[in-house]
Structure 1
């Protein structure tokens, strides 16, 4: 009897070892991606577009990245910084993701980036532009496939001075990305002799804009520069037109003002000028193919958020390929992404020493429901990455 138990025990142990080995081999054939994005609330449409873009790139590559099948762990971050650290830690410690992809809201992304740094987990930011992510808080493990708040806003500051505009009022939500967008605009605008006559803010995601519209009507500046995005942007633009300001005080902003929400604005958005690293009507084969496939897969036109999700997948793929398809070789993955030349729908870009895209910024105009490219406002704009010690 004892002998039988002993043999059975060995058999069970042997089976367990074999199962563990099989499980390990199986796991090595797959990569686990943690998507931590907003799927409800103000930024839900942005989170969905990023997810669609990421998955489109994976689909174009046979469901693989770096030769590995892709599994997803998905978390709705609710654009809530208070939940961000716990959510990110769960993806890393419980779900054992190989990469964090997130997010839209800068406050959430800053908390995620700290978790990524502390746990040495690779993270690619497909939207949030807080300057600190690739500035004072830069990390070898954190990359961005989008932009810094400084980039499109700085380009707009330069562009408005070239137009001869002298006095501007600004409005934004009072949180890091909004305030940094205004600061980037103001840096370029005042450097060339312009003056910001009034800076106005309101709490996120408040959309009670009437007091600010009244103030603008009273100030009568040459123009207004704003940062809003998502549903809040659509409401601001609609309210601005309804207040009779659109035809008297031109409205400008980074492209988030009009990307992904033109339908919600109706005719109020027509003619708006914005600056961004993507636009409709770019004359490159990559963008044409991207838009065609996206339309077929998702029955709608892609926006900048979809492009940023697509390029986050491209960047991770480049890193994995450089590491021979082994996500555990983190240094090789990092070096592979750093050296990559990304053939993006937005145009080719490389990454700065702080892991932020060095990219063209386009001037766009809303025409017939699209953000149509007018010209390149600034070529190869590199974020200054102030405070980055990497």
Structure 2
């Protein structure tokens, strides 16, 4: 009988060790082609960098990677998510960049009970009506950078504005955020202009802006579309009389291609090029050494922090990915030591963070000041 007890105890110990040492499967659902292709690869690279810095493991667990090109196509979102969830049986999803894709991904993750970490897409609904205890963001809500630019525009004496973006969720929410803050403080958005995503034919709208003659223009574009818009705006000679402001994605990861056309542009974002803190300097040195041809930008920082957040959750449960509820609670309460500066998550899973005012100088998004401190997304419609 005593021998049987010893064998039973040994068996339980062996099973427990096997469970604790199980490989954690991480599925990247990111754009690897099209307008956002380089952004997706940057996020993946930065996530893997953090894991490499921990010796190739998180909380002692091996990490196995899977990837799907989401093509920035929301209609393919459910099928692509299910390839990772059902076919590859991932434990954690990391994605995406396009807000429409991320909304489909959030629903699929919630339905399947899979942990989701969003390293970019800022769709307000994700921390609003679609909020879930298993869905986290290491980036921003679209509302945050837009809202932070409102008081900046007012402080500069602008009274009327035109907003312009692609006709999709991210652009609408960013420009809505700007409008909310700008009009709260006495300004007026007199026209909202859009082009279909991912169209980059801007000339007719630039002609319209010239005829409207607002005090300022607020724009939301990203990736190759941002490059084309900034170049076209400069080429139309509008900036001398109608200054251009934007969400930081207008100039993040795009400055080399934009060249002199971006000089002097003011943008708001939760990251900047010259924060000059020990944490950010260490991150930049590590990333540039590992990926010397990859720009160090907000996308890299957000991907890096996605791995940090997962690490915090896994450490809290001793690496046991099956303890999902406890892991989610730990992630919700984590203080992330981000290159942007430390942040915590709101109850809805969105970073509460400083939003910086930056100006393009010498090919960099140089920090001017903190536009709004510890800005929390309002999480309208979130019910947990």
TM interval, shorter chain, is: over 0.9
- Cross-structure match for 1:356: 350
Aligned partner of 2:38 among 41, 45, 65:
45
**Structure 1, 246-255 or 123-132: larger mean CA deviation:** 246-255
Q: How does 1:1-390 map to 2 (within 5 A)?
A: 25=18, 28-299=21-292, 300-390=294-384
TM, length-normalised to structure 2: 0.94
Q: Secondary structure at the match of 2:275?
A: coil
Equivalent residues of 2:99, 2:121 under 8 A apart: yes
In structure 1, C-alpha distance between the alignment counterparts of 2:62 and 2:239, rounded to whole Å:
50
Summarize deviations over 1:125-156 as a string: whole Å, max 9, x none.
00000000010110111000000001010000
Report the CA distance between 1:283 and its aligned residue: 2.7
Report the CA distance between 1:350 and its aligned residue: 0.2
Q: Secondary structure at the match of 2:321?
A: coil
Equivalent residues of 1:291, 1:301 under 8 A apart: no
Report the CA distance between 1:176 and its aligned residue: 0.6
TM, length-normalised to structure 1: 0.93
Equivalent residues of 2:19, 2:320 under 8 A apart: no
Gaps spanning 5+ residues in structure 1: where? 1-20
- Cross-structure match for 2:10: none
Report the CA distance between 1:64 and its aligned residue: 1.0
Task: Select the structure of larger CA radius of gyration.
Answer: 1
Distance 1:336 1:27, change over 3 A: closer
Report the CA distance between 1:49 and its aligned residue: 1.1
Report the CA distance between 1:30 and its aligned residue: 1.5
Equivalent residues of 1:294, 1:301 under 8 A apart: no
In structure 1, C-alpha distance between the alignment counterparts of 2:124 and 2:63, rounded to whole Å:
30
In structure 2, C-alpha distance between the alignment counterparts of 1:375 and 1:90, rounded to whole Å:
44
Distance 1:142 1:324, change over 3 A: same
Equivalent residues of 1:135, 1:387 under 8 A apart: yes
Report the CA distance between 1:26 and its aligned residue: 8.6
Equivalent residues of 1:35, 1:75 under 8 A apart: yes
Report the CA distance between 1:27 and its aligned residue: 9.1
In structure 2, C-alpha distance between the alignment counterparts of 1:163 and 1:374, rounded to whole Å:
14
In structure 2, C-alpha distance between the alignment counterparts of 1:44 and 1:247, rounded to whole Å:
33
In structure 1, C-alpha distance between the alignment counterparts of 2:37 and 2:55, rounded to whole Å:
27
Report the CA distance between 1:247 and its aligned residue: 2.1
Distance 1:301 1:90, change over 3 A: closer
Q: Which runs of 4+ in 1 moved over 3 A?
A: 24-29
Q: Secondary structure at the match of 2:26?
A: strand
Q: Secondary structure at the match of 2:379?
A: coil
- Cross-structure match for 2:8: none
Equivalent residues of 1:125, 1:145 under 8 A apart: yes
Report the CA distance between 1:29 and its aligned residue: 3.3
Q: CA RMSD in A?
A: 1.5
